[in-house]
Amino acid sequence: MSTAESLAQSLREHLQLCQNTLTLVGREHQALRDPATAVSTNLLGEKKDLLSRLTESLNRLRQYRVEWTRLSPAERTRHPDVTTLLRQNQDVIMRIVMLDRENEQALLRRGLLPPTHVPPSQQQRPLYVANLYQDRLPK
């Protein structure tokens, strides 16, 4: 199997894992939207399992990436499926990140997130740095 074919196959597998992760994060989101529903500890176990599988998949992709970058641009253009799969993976990952942020906010509101996971207050104030500089400017 060529580098491009191996990379495409690994990207398909990774995409499937990402879609499974999106489904799991979506289930968590549904559970967090209903204040009467307790968050299942089964979700945590499933997340840990998916995390280890995603880590293995990512390590495989890193190996193929090095080989992929060594190919000539002409060779890479002969495999548009790799570019499509990369874009699909990125799209799903961005949806996971956005939904997971919403879940984190819901956990914070419920008081279910440990204090070490709470972002610093400056991070919650987007104009913090601009205001610092404005206060220091001569009037």
Residue of 125, 106, 137, 86 whose CA lies nearest to 39: 106
pTM: 0.73
CA angle 37, 42, 47 (to 5 degrees): 110
Q: Cβ contacts of residue 128 below 8 Å, gap of 6+?
A: 122
CA 137 to mean position of chain CA atoms: 40
The domain defined by 3-136 folds into: Methane Monooxygenase Hydroxylase; Chain G, domain 1 (1.20.58)
Query: How far, in Å, CA of 71 to CA of 28, rounded?
Result: 41
Residue type, 103: N
- From first to last of its 139 residues, the chain has per-residue pLDDT tens of 788 888 899 999 999 999 999 999 999 998 888 877 766 778 878 888 888 898 899 888 888 888 888 888 998 899 999 989 988 998 999 999 899 889 888 888 877 767 676 666 555 566 665 665 565 555 5
Structure tokens at 49: 């399992």
